[in-house]
Amino acid sequence: MCGIVGYLGREKASDIIIAGLEKLEYRGYDSCGICFYDERAKRFVMYKDKGRVAHLKNDFDYDKCNGLGIGHTRWATHGQPNQLNSHPHFSEGDRFAVVHNGVIENYKELTERYLAGVQFVSETDTEVIANLIARFALQMPAEEAIRKTLSVLEGSYALLVVDTLDPHVLYAAKNKSPLLLGVGKRGVTLASDVMALVGYADQYFPIEDKTFTVVSEKDGVSCFALYDILGHPVETKFMTIDIVLDEIGKGGYSHYMLKEICEQPSVVRKIVSKYLPEDRIQIDPETLSWFKTAERIYVIAAGTSMHAGFVGKYLLENIAGIPVEVFIASEFAYNPPLLVKNPLFVFISQSGETADLRACLVDVKRRGFRTVTITNVPTSTLAREADKFLEIFAGPEIAVASTKAYVGQIVILAILAVALADRPPFDLHKELAKVAVAMEAVIDKREFIHGLVKAKITKRNCFYIGRSLDYFTCLEAALKLKEISYIQTEGFAAGELKHGTIALIEQGVPVVAIISQKAVARHTRGNIREVCARGAEKLVIATQLVSDPTDELILMDVHESLTPLITIIPTQLIAFYAALDIGKDIDKPRNLAKSVTVE
């Protein structure tokens, strides 16, 4: 949550920072701001406001910006989204300006101990950081004052700091929140995500926790130095940026979400090419052996990724015979179950940054257990900190509502399940090829699905019902619809509805039923009759094998264990068109952010 960008080099810093913030807006978009050095006035200038980066870009003057600046896009944690709480924040007296992603847990204690008498202008924890640096800098050089500040901070932070007395230096530090440093021909860029470096850096590396960075200029060339908290130099290894600008554009689509829904068949094919080249499963043998020898797998995840985890539990238990439990990360962290002696922890996360998951990861690693992360972002914290890492290869996912990363997670879990099975129950390569084709067939029907939405999704509430694997799809389908259209939607195990919630069914309430599992199809149809008898507006999505001529949408058959990959597609399109028709901000729904880096 929150995105930060900083630049020192020979380009106009504002161009790079604003372009970067636009790419990081998925991390938070309540408000944003920038601070840069004004070459002609010989002073730092700051613009910040509530609202989107477009406002920052279009409504202010950057004519005299030079090659140093810092910027921020915010998801509010401390204080409302308003101009005063927007970043950057200055210290009292305006010497230091700071942008911050994270949460300082001991900011109250620090204020009492070190900052008596300071007049704060915002409600943020970040202003405490700026003032601590300023306070310590009364007695020591800026660099030392920042390091001393870091030594007293508790919590998470990715920080960029400028000292207005020196317009040739940019300071950075990080703990828990992500921060990457990219080097290009014309300067050094720091950002929360590699996407903001694309086009400006050829090489980059993720900065390690508790590392302090000084970016400076020597003879017009930007350089950097890394130190640990005690000031000892730290070594690093560069990586090459392998994202091209096209991958992070809308590619002719009206919205990222629609683009990402339509990319799902190629995501399946890409994963197959990575993990099943020439028809043979290629996963690190040690990772597989950990799954095989574990007494129980504990899947830790949140939201959409947790729904993928439920499907994964089904696949691993039914195909590979390995017991799996799925936990909400934020619950597991503080109310853990009684563990088996030899567990394996699997963290599923599209962003790889979710703080709830990280809290669990740190804890179980401390207790000596093995950990595996499945994520779409190879440079993410969870990817780097788990013992093993399986990449999803879905490509950059920019819409806040996750679609292709979810599908990618399930494909990886299916591959794992088949790889771990004593006797593979089906030809995975062939079945996944069918899945990609069946997905394309649904996507081709998107205008028809739009018509169904116009006719049926007309109320302020909605239900998804299904059984067995279809129930998990219902949970995810409901989350998708509610998060982008704000229509109150519940995903229910079809048989559970009549144990209370059916009281909410009245004339015209949409009930979307998903039917793809032969063993339970008849029962779900019974539940549809029950809600229709009470006035519900039904919309049945069924696979061919278990379909009925009265069903509204019939999907191509795929292997019964893989139907969640198909049935989810129309529900993503339902969510998309429902939100479109009522004019919601589909790619950036209110109150949300794509990486949830606070607990």
Tell whether residue 373 is a contact of ligand F6R (CB under 6 A): no
SS3 state at 422 = coil
Find the binder of ligand F6R among 122, 124, 211, 350 (CB under 6 A): 350
Would residue 35 show up in a list of annotated catalytic residues for this protein? Answer: no
What's the rounded Cα separation, in Å, for the pair 385 and 357? 11
- Nearest approach in angstroms of CB 108 to ligand F6R is 28
| Nearest residue (CB) to ligand F6R, 32 versus 596 | 596
- Nearest approach in angstroms of CB 174 to ligand F6R is 19
Instruction: Record the tokens describing residue 11, joined without a space.
Output: 């380009």
| Nearest residue (CB) to ligand F6R, 156 versus 304 | 304
Of the residues 2, 262, 462, 474, only one is catalytic, namely 2
Query: Hey, which residues does 191 pair with through a beta bridge?
Result: 5, 180
- DSSP-derived pairing of the beta strands 221-228 and 187-191: unpaired
- Nearest approach in angstroms of CB 348 to ligand F6R is 7
Query: Hey, which residues does 553 pair with through a beta bridge?
Result: 541
Tell whether residue 402 is a contact of ligand F6R (CB under 6 A): yes
Tell whether residue 349 is a contact of ligand F6R (CB under 6 A): yes
Q: How many CA atoms lie within 13 A of 453 on its CB side?
A: 22
Would residue 594 show up in a list of annotated catalytic residues for this protein? Answer: yes
Judged by CB under 6 A, how many residues of this single chain contact ligand F6R?
Answer: 15
Going by C-beta distance under 8 Å and a sequence separation of 6 or more, which residues neighbour residue 153? 104, 106, 110, 129, 132, 175
Residues composing the chain:
599
SS3 state at 159 = strand
Reduce the secondary structure of 265-332 to three states and give it as a string.
Answer: HHHHHHHHHHHCHHHCCCCCHHHHHHHHHCCEEEEEECHHHHHHHHHHHHHHHHHHCCCEEEEEHHHH
Tell whether residue 354 is a contact of ligand F6R (CB under 6 A): yes
Pick the stretch among 39-47, 94-102, 346-354, 569-577 that binds ligand F6R (CB under 6 A): 346-354
Pick the stretch among 96-104, 218-226, 315-323, 343-351 that binds ligand F6R (CB under 6 A): 343-351
CA nearest neighbour of 581 among 448, 403, 451: 451
The CB-nearest residue to ligand F6R is: 303
CA angle 291, 295, 298 (to 5 degrees): 70
Instruction: Record the tokens describing residue 193, joined without a space.
Output: 């995500």
Tell whether residue 561 is a contact of ligand F6R (CB under 6 A): no
- Nearest approach in angstroms of CB 24 to ligand F6R is 15
Tell whether residue 516 is a contact of ligand F6R (CB under 6 A): no
Pick the stretch among 277-285, 296-304, 500-508, 530-538 that binds ligand F6R (CB under 6 A): 296-304
What's the rounded Cα separation, in Å, for the pair 564 and 541? 12
| Nearest residue (CB) to ligand F6R, 201 versus 478 | 478
| Nearest residue (CB) to ligand F6R, 22 versus 397 | 397
- Nearest approach in angstroms of CB 504 to ligand F6R is 23
CA nearest neighbour of 565 among 426, 468, 454, 434: 434
- On whether the CB atoms of residues 28 and 43 are closer than 8 A, the answer is no
Tell whether residue 149 is a contact of ligand F6R (CB under 6 A): no
Tell whether residue 305 is a contact of ligand F6R (CB under 6 A): yes
Helix (H) or strand (E) holding 216: strand 211-218
Find the binder of ligand F6R among 18, 183, 195, 302 (CB under 6 A): 302
Read off φ and ψ for residue 121, nearest 5 degrees.
-105, -15
- Nearest approach in angstroms of CB 307 to ligand F6R is 8
Among positions 214-243, residues that touch ligand F6R (CB under 6 A) are none
Among positions 457-486, residues that touch ligand F6R (CB under 6 A) are 479, 483
- Nearest approach in angstroms of CB 549 to ligand F6R is 34
Tell whether residue 371 is a contact of ligand F6R (CB under 6 A): no
Q: Which residues bind ligand F6R (CB under 6 A)?
A: 302-305, 349-351, 354, 357, 401-402, 479, 483, 595-596
Catalytic residues: 2, 594
